[in-house]
Amino acid sequence: NVILKPNGYILYVSCGHVGFSVDSEMNGFRTVVEGEGLEVVNYDDDDWPIRRQTDGSKISLADLLRQSANDGRGSAGKEEKSVLDGTGGARVILLRKKRMKSFKKT
């Protein structure tokens, strides 16, 4: 939070690995950063401004990571795909500093 510029953003990516729960890790991370004054702008289940090349439909960053593992274009092979599938896949979260509400004089 200290090094983040006032209008800056943080993009946090978490991918599963053996002995690791992506959901638990992400929930813990969100608790800590929200306690430090950051707010969630977008989470991987929300709409992201990314479009599929095939049909133009919206896709989340986490789904894009999973898709690249599934279709062989990404760096993840069969072993990596099975680990991702078994540990919760990937999560992406976009954060920023909380905005101060301005009050108008009446």
Q: For 30-74, how does the pLDDT look when each residue is reduced to its tens digit (9 = 90+)? A: 999 889 889 888 776 656 667 777 888 888 777 777 777 666 555
Which tokens in the block code for residue 16? 């599963």
How confident is the model over 76-85, as pLDDT tens digits? 566 777 777 7
- Phi–psi pair at 80, nearest 5 degrees: -65, -40
Can you give the residue range of the structural domain that contains 26?
9-97
Looking up tokens 């795909």, which residue turns up? 81
Structural domain contains residue 39? yes
Q: How deeply is 15 buried, as exposed, middle or buried, from its count of CB atoms within 10 A (0-12, 13-18, 19+)?
A: buried
Total domains in the chain come to 1
Is the pTM value of this prediction over 0.75? no
Structural domain contains residue 84? yes
